[in-house]
Amino acid sequence: MKNLPPLIPVITQDASSGEVLTLAYMDREALQLTLDRGEVHFYSRSRNTLWRKGESSGNTQALRAARVDCDSDAILLQVDAAGPACHLGTSSCFSRSLEPGSTLEFTHSHSGARSELMRLRETIASRRGGNIDTSYTAALLASGRARICQKIGEEATELIIAAMQGSRQETISELADLVYHILVFMEGENIEDAELASELARRRPAKEE
């Protein structure tokens, strides 16, 4: 990924139960803040920024101990977790079991639609504070909430018109424009992907008995 500082993978583990909680990443600053303040900080690869675990959800992690592996390329943190560790509301991000014969969609290859959305999110984040004369994204981010919301409204209207006229390709094009402006809004409001995913998970229908 472009414009990212050197990152190191970090596993968090419940200090009392030993349960593995999360896999995330740190840069040097995130690690130093974690060690100095005793509160777990990570580096967001989607937004290219530092963040404190639980800063919006309240599900913080207090540091109990930190260990580094023999090659100094991975970190293990033992923590006291205040609330669920996973953005889906589970105590651990590793809540799904894999049995013989199980299939799994590998997401780390960044393939397909998810890959394009991740790349777009990263590109938008990289434009923050950029030259507003040469970058539409930088200019839109600099224009503020009201202008971004206005553009979302305009793009939503254009999507509706295209859909009602029955042109599939035009509808897809307008939908892409709307998604882009929504991602710009998320960047401008500092809304993490995990926060949106958490809200979507909260709305997921409960399994029928």
Give the CATH number, domain containing residue 189.
Answer: 1.10.287.1080
Residues 123, 74 share a domain: no
The mean pLDDT of 13-33, rounded to a whole number, is 94
Range of the domain at 189: 112-202
Domain end point (choices 58, 81, 104)? 81
Q: Residue 45 — very low, low, confident or very high, per pLDDT cuts 50/70/90? A: confident
Nearest to 199 by CA among 187, 186, 184, 188: 186
Stated as kind and residue range, the H or E segment containing 44 is strand 41-44
pLDDT digits (tens, 9 = 90+) for 139-172: 999 999 999 999 999 999 999 999 999 888 999 9
Residues 128, 184 share a domain: yes
176: in domain: yes
Q: Residue 2 — very low, low, confident or very high, per pLDDT cuts 50/70/90? A: very low
Q: Largest alpha-carbon pair distance within the chain?
A: 62
